[in-house]
Amino acid sequence: MEQGLKTNVWESMRPIRNNMNVEILDCTIRDGGYVNNWDFDKRLVRETYRALSKGGVDYIELGYHGSQKWFDKKQYGAFRLSLAEDIRFVCNNIAGAKVAVMVDYGKFDVEELAQYKDTPVRLIRIAVHRHSIKKAIHAAAGIRRMGFLVAVNLMGFTLYTPKERKKVALLFRDAPIDYAYLVDSHGSFFPNQIGDICGPLFGIRHIRWGFHAHNNLQMAFANTLSAMAAGAHIIDSSVFGMGRGAGNLPTEIILAYMHLLKPEKYNAIPVLSLVDRYFTKLYDASPWGYNLPFMLSGIHDCHPDYPKNLINRKEYDIEDIWKILNAVRLSAPVGFNKELLEGIIRNGLFSKKPAASGVASKANTSKRKKTSVSYRGRHRNADFLVLANGPSLKSNHKQLAAFISKYQPIVLASNYLGGLFKPHYHAFSNKRRLIDYIDTVDKSSRLLISQFISPQMIREYTDRDHETIYYENTDAQFTINDGVISSHCRTVALLLLGVAIVMGARRIFVAGLDGYTGINKKGQIHFYNEKDETEDRNVLMEKHMSNLRYLEQIDEYMCSHGKEGIHIITPTNYTKYYKGIENYISK
C-alpha cells in the first residue's frame, strides 16, 4: 500500500516534473520586513542567507531599495534601504545564492542602483500597480542596461480585468526584461483559476514568469503548485511564511516538496533548523499569518486594512462587514482608501444592494413617505432622560435615581444597564450588542430596535415585542422628516436623542455620555467591561468628534423648534452641554 501511495503522489506531480527548471526566490527579508519594519539583526540575515543557500534556493531577496528622498533611514530598519555595505556584510565569504532587491516604481532613483554593481546583487525587481506598467517596463530596461537582471512584479493581479490582462500580454510581448511576476497581493486566487488566468501570460517565451502567493485563504502552497503546473518559471516563498498580512508560501514547505522532485538540488533541513533557532522567536515577538481580517481580505480581493478597519471599530457584525467589503471589491481600489470606505458605509451599508450616493436620497425619501413611526408624538412636551453607558452612569447612580424620582422623565437607555435602572424604553442599534445583552433587558421596558436589524435575527434572540427605530445613516445635517431621523448615528445614545425628539420631548437630559477623549483611570469607556469596544485611539477620537458634531446639530435643531437644548448632567468631555446633576436635585 505504501508503494502505491508513493506512485500516486509521483503521478500527481507529473505536470510539475515537466517544468523542472523552476527557480525559487526567497523574499523573507523583504516581505517579512513589513512585520518588523525591516529591523532585522544583520547576523540573523547572514544566517538566513547561509541556510537558504544550503537549501538550494536560487535567489534571496535581501530587502527593499528605496531612495532616501522617500524613506528616512531613521524610521526604518537597515533592510528598507538595503545599502551595498549591508549586502556585502551578509554575503561575505558565503558561496551562496544570487541576491535580489526590490524597488517600488516611482520611489527610487536609477542612479542609486549603481552601488550594487560590485555586490552579489544580480536581480532588481520593480513592484508596480496596473496604471504604471508601461513606465515600469521602460525603467526596467534602463536598469538592465546597467548589467542587472530585471523583473517587473504586477501587484494585485487578481484585480485585473480580462481586457487589462490582454493589454499586459501586448505590453510584455516584446518587453526587454528577464522576469515578470504575477502577484496575488490579497491571497485571493484559488488553484483552479491559475491555469486560465495566468497560463496565457506564462506562454510569452522570452520572459521567465514568476508567481508570488499570499496565504490569506491558506492557498499559497496549492496556488504555487498550480502555477508551476501552468508553466511558471520562478516562484516566491519566505521562511516560516513571514510576510505582510497573512504571509507567504513557507520556504521550508516548498523545499521539502521540491526535494521529492530534485533531491540533488533541494534540502529543507537547513531552513527548518533556521526556523527552529530564530524564526519561532521572531514570530512570538511579532506574529504574522492567517487571521480573520486577512481571510476576509482574501475572499473579497481587497487591501487587508479594509477588514481590519471595520473589525477594529467593533460596531458591525460579520454580515455587515461582508456586505461592505463586497462593495469595496466592486470598486477595485488600489491600496486602502479610507474615503471610499466611509462613502460605502454612508450610502447603503445595510441594504441588500448598496445605492450610489445620488440615488440613495431619492429612494429613502420615497420609503419615508410610506413609513409609519409608531412612537411619533407619544410623549408630547415630556422631559426625557437618555442613559448612555459611560462610567459616570454608575458613579452617579444615586444622584440619577434622585433626579428620576424628582422629575419623572421618560427614560431611554441602551445596551447593558446591569440592573442600575429600569428604563421605559431599552434600545439596540448594533447587532453585536443585541446578541450580547438582549437577555438582560428588564421585563418592564419596551424594546426599541433599529430598522437595520432584520426581523429574522431579532426573532432568533428574543420573542419579545418591539418597536422599530427608523433612521437614515447620512453625514448630512441632522433632521427629522415624518418621524424618520437623518443622522450618522455612530452611537446609540445620539440616536436616542433623535428618538426622544420624535416622541415629543420638551427637554432632553443625558447621563453617561462621557466622551471618548477623557477615559477614566481604569481605562474604561463604559461603566461595565465592554469586551467589544475598540481600543484604537484614532477610532475613538473619530467617534468623539462625530458625536460632538451631531450634538451641536441636535441641540440647534431643538432650539430652532422652540424647545430647550440638550442638558448633559453627568461629567463629560462635551463640556458645552454640561450642567452638573446637583444643580437639578438640590433645588
- 4 within some domain: no
How confident is the model over 466-504, as pLDDT tens digits?
A: 999 999 877 778 999 999 998 776 688 899 999 999 999
Separate counts of helices (H) and strands (E) for the chain: 25, 18
* Number of domains within the chain: 3
Cell, residue 181: 511576476
Measure the CA–CA gap between 78 and 86, rounded to whole angstroms: 8
Label residues 336-364 b or e (16+ Cβ within 10 Å = b). Answer: eeeeebebbbbbbbbeeebeeeeebeeeb
Q: At what angle do helices 191-202 and 220-230 cross, to 10 degrees?
A: 40
340 and 381 co-located in one domain:
no
Residue 6 confidence (pLDDT): 46
60 and 130 co-located in one domain:
yes
466 and 379 co-located in one domain:
yes
273 and 397 co-located in one domain:
no
Q: Which helix (DSSP H) or strand (DSSP E) does residue 73 occupy?
A: none
454 and 365 co-located in one domain:
no
364 and 379 co-located in one domain:
no
pTM: predicted TM-score of the whole model, two decimal places = 0.71
Cell, residue 461: 434572540
SS3 call for 237: strand
Q: Domain with 69 in it: what CATH number?
A: 3.20.20.70
Contacts for 483 with CB less than 8 Å, ≥ 6 apart: 371, 373, 375, 376, 470, 502
346 and 379 co-located in one domain:
no
Pairing of strands 59-64, 382-387: unpaired
153 and 92 co-located in one domain:
yes
Judge contact between 341 and 348, C-beta under 8 A. Answer: no
108 and 169 co-located in one domain:
yes
At residue 522, φ and ψ (nearest 5 deg) are -85, 0
- 172 within some domain: yes
SS3 call for 150: strand
Beta strands in 190-339 (DSSP E): 208-212, 234-237
How confident is the model over 19-34, as pLDDT tens digits?
A: 568 999 999 999 999 9
- 362 within some domain: yes
Sign of torsion over alpha carbons 108, 63, 129, 289 = negative
Which of 342, 369, 396 is the last residue before a domain boundary? 369
354 and 447 co-located in one domain:
no
- 3 within some domain: no
- 295 within some domain: no
pLDDT in tens, the chain (587 residues): 444 444 454 455 555 555 568 999 999 999 999 999 999 999 999 999 999 999 999 999 999 998 777 777 788 999 999 999 999 999 999 999 999 999 999 889 899 999 999 999 999 999 999 999 999 999 999 999 999 999 999 999 999 999 999 999 999 999 999 999 999 999 999 999 999 999 999 999 999 999 999 999 999 999 999 999 999 999 999 999 999 889 999 999 999 999 988 999 999 999 999 999 999 999 999 999 988 888 899 988 888 899 988 888 777 788 888 889 988 988 878 889 888 888 887 765 444 333 333 333 333 444 444 568 999 999 999 999 999 988 999 999 999 999 999 999 999 999 999 889 999 999 999 888 898 899 999 999 999 999 988 899 899 999 999 999 999 877 778 999 999 998 776 688 899 999 999 999 999 999 999 887 655 445 566 655 665 555 566 777 777 787 888 899 999 999 999 998 899 999 998 889 999 999 998 86
- 291 within some domain: no
Measure the CA–CA gap between 62 and 83, rounded to whole angstroms: 10
Measure the CA–CA gap between 155 and 503, rounded to whole angstroms: 54
Q: Which residue has the cell 431643538?
A: 558
Residue 503 confidence (pLDDT): 97
Judge contact between 117 and 146, C-beta under 8 A. Answer: yes
SS3 call for 268: coil
Residue 11 confidence (pLDDT): 52
Residue 2 confidence (pLDDT): 44
Judge contact between 348 and 354, C-beta under 8 A. Answer: yes
327 and 387 co-located in one domain:
no
Which of 285, 315, 347 is the last residue before a domain boundary? 285
Sign of torsion over alpha carbons 459, 463, 467, 471 = negative
363 and 423 co-located in one domain:
no
Sign of torsion over alpha carbons 507, 561, 545, 308 = positive
Could you list the residue range(s) of the whole structural domain that residue 354 is in? Answer: 302-369
Cell, residue 318: 460579520
- 395 within some domain: yes
Which of 335, 369, 403 is the last residue before a domain boundary? 369
